[in-house]
């Protein structure tokens, strides 16, 4: 209903409605998931907005803050197989045109060199290719 009439629903109905809205994502704006699909109607003001603010808006903002804290905090696995797999993936991604991968590629190569998985010559060739932005 556009304007649910008081007395036609109880606390259990409201609880179920909240759960349906949360699970279906019905209140999320289709073009921007950080924004609610809202209007100034009775149902928005009295039912949906409180759900949005309590269950979706706050957790998203908290997640964004945590994401900002995590930026720059990476780690490399010590497993040589894992490092090699990640290196292959990054190099393929770089060849596909993705930028911003250089630091991670260099870190992995440094670790592989340290573990004697990568020879000095192979390391130099990778670094030259990386600096020239040529295919590997």
Please report the pLDDT score of residue 57 as a whole number: 61
Please report the pLDDT score of residue 64 as a whole number: 52
Same domain, 48 and 86: no
Please report the pLDDT score of residue 74 as a whole number: 61
**Average pLDDT, whole number, for the chain?**
77
Query: Which of 77, 81, 72, 25 lies closest to 48 in space, CA to CA?
Result: 25
What is the pLDDT averaged over residues 113-127?
92
Q: What is the pLDDT of residues 68-94, one digit of tens each?
A: 444 445 667 778 888 998 888 888 888
Supply the DSSP symbol for 49.
H
Same domain, 60 and 88: no
Domain that holds residue 23: 11-70
Same domain, 53 and 104: no
Answer whether residue 4 is part of any domain.
no
The CA-atom distances, in angstroms, between 22 and each of 3, 52, 90 are 20, 8, 36
For residues 51 and 18, the answer to whether their CB atoms sit within 8 Å is yes
Dihedral in degrees, nearest 10, Cα atoms 5, 27, 69, 87: 150
Instruction: Give the number of other Cβ atoms within 10 Å of residue 89's Cβ.
Output: 11
The total of structural domains in the chain comes to 2
Q: What is the pLDDT of residues 47-69, one digit of tens each?
A: 777 777 776 664 554 455 555 44
Same domain, 20 and 51: yes
């Amino acid at each position: 209903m556009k304007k649910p009439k008081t007395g036609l629903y109880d606390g259990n109905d409201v609880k179920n409605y909240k759960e349906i809205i949360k699970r279906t994502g019905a209140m999320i704006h289709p073009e921007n998931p950080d924004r609610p699909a809202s209007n100034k109607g009775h149902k928005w003001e009295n039912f949906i907005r409180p759900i949005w603010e309590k269950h979706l808006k706050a957790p998203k903002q908290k997640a964004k803050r945590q994401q900002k804290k995590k930026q720059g905090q990476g780690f490399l696995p010590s497993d040589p197989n894992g490092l090699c797999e990640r290196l292959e993936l990054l190099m393929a991604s770089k060849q596909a045109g993705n930028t911003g991968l250089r630091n991670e590629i260099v870190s992995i190569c440094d670790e592989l060199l340290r573990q004697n998985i990568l020879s000095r010559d192979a390391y130099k060739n990778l670094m030259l290719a990386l600096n020239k932005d040529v295919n590997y």
